[in-house]
Amino acid sequence: MTREYRYDDFSLGQIFRSGAYGVSEAEIVAFARQYDPQPQHLSQEAAASSGFGELVASGWHTAAISMRLFITDALPPIAGGSQGAGVDRLAWPKPVRPGDRLHVRLEVVALRPSRSRPERGLMTLRSTTFNQDDDIVMSAEHTVMLPRQVPA
């Protein structure tokens, strides 16, 4: 059985890393058609006349991939799952292109017990998503609520 983590298992400065995830042209276009139908995301032809001049992933697609890597690969399993409390400082400094391989680095930057729910704690993670060249393609700070250890 896999160990499930709680608030008390984390410490300031802890680092977690994901494996790599390859982004395909078909995936970029499919996401854009459904959620962000702007020319730079829909086809190479349409993107040629965009500000990017080439097909790039939507920032929201990058965020969705990053979230998947964050939850399924980087962060240890949370008992009962975590509950999102907010995202701050979201930025996409470089675009994601077809063929890029993304990976996520998480750092615990803040921990505090919940004042209104003593059985829960709040953890803030600095999330940085890199491409295969270690260029930053997304950064954000996520605050999540998670269970605390239950006294025996």
Beta-bridge mates of residue 78: 5
The answer on pLDDT for 151 being more than 70 is: no
Token pair 């300031």 in the structure block, residue: 12
CA dihedral 73, 27, 127, 3 (to 10 degrees): -20
Third-level CATH fold of 7-147: Thiol Ester Dehydrase; Chain A (3.10.129)
Of all residues in the chain, what percent carry a pLDDT higher than 90? Answer: 93
CA dist 61 and 87 (Å) reads 16
Q: pLDDT tens digits for 59-85?
A: 999 999 999 999 999 999 999 988 999
The answer on pLDDT for 94 being more than 80 is: yes
Mean pLDDT of the chain: 95
- Ranges of each domain in the chain: 7-147
Mean pLDDT of 46-68: 96
The answer on pLDDT for 152 being more than 50 is: no
